[in-house]
Amino acid sequence: MLVIVAPGQGAQTPGFLTPWLEDPRFAARFDWLATVAGLDLAHYGTQADEATIRDTRIAQPLLVATGLVAALDLFPHPADAFARIGAVAGHSVGELTAAAGARAITAEQAMVLVRERGAAMARAAESTPTGMTAVLGGDRDDVLATLERHGLTAANDNGPGQVVAAGTTAQLEALAADPPAKARLVPLSVAGAFHTSHMAPAVDRLKTLALSVSTHDPRTPVISNRDGQVVHDGRDVVRRIVGQVSTPVRWDLCLETMSDLGVTGIIEMPPAGTLTGIARRALKGVETFALKTPDQLDDARAFADKHGEASLIETSPTWRMVVSPAKGTFHLDPAAAGALDLAPDSALGEVASLRDRTTVTAAHGGQVVEWLVEDGDLVSPGQPLLRLHPRAGS
146-182, pLDDT tens digit by residue?
999 999 999 999 988 899 999 999 999 999 999 999 9
pLDDT for the residue 313: 64
Three state DSSP letters for 192-251: CCCCCHHHHHHHHHHHHHHCCCCCCCCCCCEECCCCCCEECCHHHHHHHHHHHHHCCECH
d(CA 11, CA 52): 14
Dihedral angle of Cα 387, 388, 389, 394, to the nearest 10 degrees:
-130
pLDDT for the residue 190: 82
Q: CATH assignment of 2-124+197-307?
A: 3.40.366.10
State which fold the 126-187 domain adopts.
Answer: Alpha-Beta Plaits (3.30.70)
> Domain coordinates of the chain in residue numbers?
2-124+197-307, 126-187, 320-389
- Model confidence, pTM: 0.86
Alpha helices per DSSP H over the chain: 24-37, 41-46, 50-54, 56-74, 78-82, 94-101, 107-127, 140-149, 169-177, 200-210, 234-243, 251-261, 274-282, 297-307, 334-337
Inter-residue contact 73 to 23 (CB < 8 Å): yes
307-329, pLDDT tens digit by residue?
998 666 655 456 788 999 999 99
* Class of CATH domain 320-389: mainly beta
d(CA 249, CA 258): 16
Residue ranges, the chain, pLDDT below 70: 310-318, 391-394
pLDDT for the residue 255: 97
227-253, pLDDT tens digit by residue?
999 998 999 999 999 999 999 999 999
Catalytic residues: 92, 195
pLDDT for the residue 317: 53
User: Distance from CA of residue 24 to its chain's centroid?
Assistant: 29
